[in-house]
């Protein structure tokens, strides 16, 4: 494994699919899983599964087993053991401590309601020793613009103070914030390529900042179009998107390939369809704009 000058990995490809277990997979999440799977397999890479179970109140206890059953039925077999974020808490704490000891985080007692738009740095001069819990912990963001080259969406550049500000790395309720957990896990799992929905594009610069501060390798990113329901909202549990059914895997996969701009396959089984799709996968054919169902 070697790094290019911008810290992007070269060498063995490692991809991952990282759903939150808030419910079963719907069509939009299956499209994401398929895209990351095909990109990994086309590059003879490994494809890992991570269950992002960091927010118990939002989660469904049955969801992890159902998600795995749905992936299996669609032929999306992952490599190795499933990583659960709930097993990673000490790794998150350790990395948060590294940041804190370097003076890169500060306590924040602002309420969510009091902040409109980008956090203006209200609590930057607050000190941990003079701050009673509960408080959130924010990353002190400074420095030059953060840029990355997305494999689908091209070059993107973000400005910390205008685009995301001092973001939360540990929540007021003590839970590790999503951005930090993802970065620690991607490094832990050796992930080289992150293929995910474009709704997460605005999270990417925060993750790039964290990875650099923690001296981790920055993965290559590819953001695929979000699948929208007929009302124009992203398919999600909140918009009551139905789960993908194990029994209609073949037709679901055909539609998902269409959404991803990939050629039709004559395959009449999940296995043969996927085998064709792996061979013919071409990320440059993935459309850049969202797909309306």
Distance CA 53, CA 50 (A): 9
E-assigned strand segments in 151-292: 154-158, 168-170, 193-197, 220-224, 227-228, 291-292
Burial of 157 (0-12, 13-18, 19+ CB in 10 A): exposed
Q: Which two tokens mark 116?
A: 């409109």
User: Site residues (CB under 5 A) for Zn ion?
Assistant: 108, 110, 122-123
Distance CA 254, CA 4 (A): 37
Query: Least separation, in Å, of the C-beta of 120 and Zn ion?
Result: 9
Q: Compute the C-alpha angle 115/198/81, nearest 5°.
A: 100
**Which CB atom, from 17 or from 106, has the smaller least distance to Zn ion?**
106
Query: Least separation, in Å, of the C-beta of 158 and Zn ion?
Result: 21
Query: Least separation, in Å, of the C-beta of 291 and Zn ion?
Result: 38
**Which CB atom, from 108 or from 286, has the smaller least distance to Zn ion?**
108
Query: Least separation, in Å, of the C-beta of 108 and Zn ion?
Result: 3
Q: Which two tokens mark 242?
A: 């139905």
**Which CB atom, from 21 or from 107, has the smaller least distance to Zn ion?**
107
**Which CB atom, from 175 or from 278, has the smaller least distance to Zn ion?**
175
Query: Least separation, in Å, of the C-beta of 122 and Zn ion?
Result: 4
**Which CB atom, from 8 or from 122, has the smaller least distance to Zn ion?**
122
Distance CA 275, CA 113 (A): 50
Q: Which two tokens mark 195?
A: 């293929």
């Amino acid at each position: 494994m070697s790094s290019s000058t911008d810290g992007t990995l070269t060498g063995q490809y490692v991809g991952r699919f990282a759903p939150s277990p808030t419910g079963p997979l719907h069509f939009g999440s299956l499209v994401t899983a398929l895209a990351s799977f095909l990109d990994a397999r086309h590059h003879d890479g490994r494809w890992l599964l991570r269950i992002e179970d960091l927010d118990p109140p939002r989660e469904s206890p049955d969801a992890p087993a159902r998600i795995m059953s749905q992936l299996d039925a669609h032929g999306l077999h992952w490599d190795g053991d499933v990583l659960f974020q709930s097993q990673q808490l000490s790794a998150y704490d350790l990395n948060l401590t590294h940041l804190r000891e370097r003076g890169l985080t500060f306590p924040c007692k602002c309420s969510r309601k009091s902040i409109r738009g980008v956090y203006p740095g209200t609590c930057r001069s607050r000190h941990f020793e003079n701050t009673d819990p509960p408080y959130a912990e924010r990353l002190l963001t400074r420095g030059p613009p953060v840029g990355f080259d997305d494999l689908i969406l091209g070059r993107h550049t973000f400005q910390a103070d205008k685009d995301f500000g001092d973001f939360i790395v540990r929540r007021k309720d003590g839970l590790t914030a999503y951005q930090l957990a993802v970065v620690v896990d991607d490094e832990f799992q050796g992930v080289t390529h992150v293929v995910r929905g474009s709704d997460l594009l605005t999270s990417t610069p925060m993750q790039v900042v964290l990875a650099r501060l923690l001296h981790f390798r920055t993965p290559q990113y590819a953001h695929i179009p979000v699948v929208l329901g007929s009302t124009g909202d992203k398919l999600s549990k909140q918009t009551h998107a139905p789960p993908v059914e194990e029994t209609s895997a073949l037709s679901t996969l055909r539609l998902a390939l269409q959404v991803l701009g990939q050629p039709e396959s004559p395959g009449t089984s999940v296995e043969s369809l996927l085998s064709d799709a792996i061979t013919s996968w071409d990320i440059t054919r993935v459309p850049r704009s969202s797909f309306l169902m």
